[in-house]
Structure 1
């Protein structure tokens, strides 16, 4: 059986709670290297799981045993590190948002094309079972014509999750570039593109920094979106949903309403215009709670694309299109206009 040797670049919470456990559960992956600017973090992980510890990512990329890497660093480093890894011939799973500009996203895509290595962006909501079912049902016409949607992703904020707590890079514009929009909103922008099978052509936005005193980035945002096929809907991203996380999506169609991860017992609920009700539990959504660290199958999809030499479920082009929605939303908010793509 082929085993892909993996390096982890960035040893913060997303690596510790998501990437590393999922690699550990995958029989065809083996973590052989860890890297963090705070070498104590990479040393501790290397001691726990085995492998080599680095403080310079270029040294990890020079390690010939490493075949693939997870980029789990602050947003502003994603492009630089991804391009270097691809140029070194490593397959890359990059955390979202893939970059802080379309220009950098394009450079990442070109680097992947030139190297022949895989580039996957970690938009894990595509792999949720209820979302997979929704995509199939929309394509099959179960909802008929889709008229509208509302999708939201909000929780109390990254300070309870990040390894650096309230001093986290998530709140710093220089390192994060964007706040709740980049942390949460880009996931939902990607999800709606994926489920609807359409691109968006117009966006309006209201974006605020109101909940986090130390933040120099947005912590609350509401977008209005219109697709190429005329579907309109709202997207909310927030670090101010105190008390309960909301990671739900609702589609309104000609033949009924489809609720995804909007109910504590059933992740998929279809309410037909004819009175039909279909309730299913199709897996759980990941949350930042201790009991919410379920396998998202992101690592499985990444490793499978390498072994089978297939296009990743969210490649560079897909990641770029989802990033573009967020960038256009920022433009819309700054100019107080509807921005067209």
Structure 2
């Protein structure tokens, strides 16, 4: 294990940046994870870091580089904007820190490959924070599908659409980032979860730039080696949607709030089969707390880090293929 040895039984984590996702979901969830201790929070403004440490504990640090120099930090959580992920991941790895980075890890495949190579050479864990994969509802849906609930799967569909943010851009209009790779990451990763690796891109498109930002929406058609297709749609000027469905030879199912599931929510799986519609309640779960535990356990128990870096590369390759297909549309 590289870097300083963690406190027995707990991984000491420093946070690079005071992003909204860190404040609302990740840090409150880390407080509930017994394998994790938040020891430091860094911001470009020390006042902002202190606001976080007053709520979540640890030391407030002015500047990201100073946090990486601390001996009481074994790993870092990176919730910075996507264009800064690779830069600060490489700096953290060079400082001997394991890295849990928000999705999408990289905006270019070459950057993902560079960071993964460095993490492997350094013997450090690099993991992308696809928290929704660690909610038990998806494992239950996969189990029911495997047991034949809807027969043989013929089609997978997923959508992630979010409304415009209220903060204004230069012309007084709401500001949004491009849908690729940030927003599209969710349905693309869900397609891999249910249809496996080896997906090829049969087609993709993006809406031209709007006054609100570049590529505000898009869609993609992927095909698995089995021939099963995945129809995906995503956007940032939309009424909220966050779910997926599978259509089989004997029925179909649908799960809503699949990617942004509140901890207290009891998910309902809607199943249509033989002219009958039923709703199956699934267990509430804490996917942010769960992924923090997966990350910490991998380091503390000396698990094989390869599956986590392979997952980063597989996702980055598929997003790259979708982008190239959309560019040629």
- What is the TM-score when the length of structure 1 is the normalising length? 0.82
Deviation at 1:95, TM superposition (A): 0.6
| Cα-Cα RMSD | 2.9
Q: 2:25 is matched with which residue?
A: 18
Verify: 1:98 aligned to 2:95, yes or no: no
Does the CA-based 8 Å contact 2:26-2:289 persist in structure 1?
no
Cα distance change, pair 256–280 in 1 and its aligned pair in 2 (3 A): same
SS state at 2:96 partner: coil
CA distance, structure 2, for counterparts of residue 139 and residue 249 of structure 1: 16
Give the 5 Å matches for 1:278-297: 279-283=280-284, 295=288, 297=290
Cα distance in 1 between the residues matched to 2:33 and 2:72: 18
Answer yes or no: is 1:321 the counterpart of 2:324. Answer: no
Does the CA contact (< 8 Å) of 1:36 and 1:56 recur in 2? yes
Does 1:166 pair with 2:175? no
Other structure's SS at 2:320 match:
helix
Aligned equivalent of 1:240? 237
Name the SS for the 2:241 alignment partner. coil
Partner of 1:289: none
CA spacing shift, 1:259–1:65, aligned 2, 3 Å = same
Superposition deviation, residue 128 in structure 1: 2.3
2:299 counterpart SS class:
helix
Structure 2 Cα separation of the partners of residues 270 and 198 of structure 1? 26
Aligned twin of 1:332: 325
Q: Deviation at 1:269?
A: 3.0
* TM-score after normalising by structure 2: 0.84
Q: Does 1:304 align with 2:303?
A: no
Gaps of 5+ in 2: 1-7, 259-264
Are 2:267 and 1:271 aligned?
no
- Secondary structure of the residue aligned to 1:247 is strand
SS in 1 for 2:242: coil
Offset at 1:137?
A: 3.6
Distance 1:248 1:313, change over 3 A: farther
Identify which of 202, 213, 226 aligns with 2:211: 213
Equivalent residue number for residue 45 of structure 1: 52
Query: Structure 1: which 5+ runs fail to align?
Result: 287-293, 337-341
Structure-to-structure mapping, 1:177-216, within 5 angstroms? 179-209=178-208, 213-215=211-213
* Partners of 1:147 and 1:253 within 8 A in 2: yes
- 2:248 matches 1:253: yes
**DSSP 3-state at the match of 1:181:** coil
Deviation per CA, 1:199-218, whole angstroms, max 9, x where unpaired?
Answer: 311241121156x6241x22
* Aligned equivalent of 2:261: none
Instruction: Count the aligned residue pairs.
Output: 313
Query: Is the alpha carbon distance of 1:262 and 1:72 closer, same or farther for their aligned partners in structure 2, counting shifts above 3 Å?
Result: closer
- Structure 2 CA distance for partners of 1:135 and 1:313, relative to 1, 3 Å: farther
Check the 8 A contact 1:130/1:267 in 2, yes or no: no
The answer on whether the counterparts of 1:66 and 1:90 sit within 8 Å (CA) in structure 2 is yes
Q: Quick one: distance in 2 between partners of 1:313 and 1:171?
A: 37
Following superposition, the deviation at residue 120 of structure 1 comes to: 1.1
- Aligned partners of 2:131 and 2:288 also within 8 Å: no
Which of 83, 94, 111 lines up with 1:87 in the alignment? 94
Q: Distance in 2 between matches of 1:185 and 1:146?
A: 23
> 8 Å contact 1:220–1:240 — kept in the other structure?
yes
Separation in 1 of the partners of 2:62 and 2:134?
32
Report how far residue 329 of structure 1 moved. Answer: 1.8
Cα distance per residue 1:285-319 (max 9 Å; x no partner) = x9xxxxxxx85622222222222333569712212
Say which SS state the counterpart of residue 99 (structure 2) adopts: strand
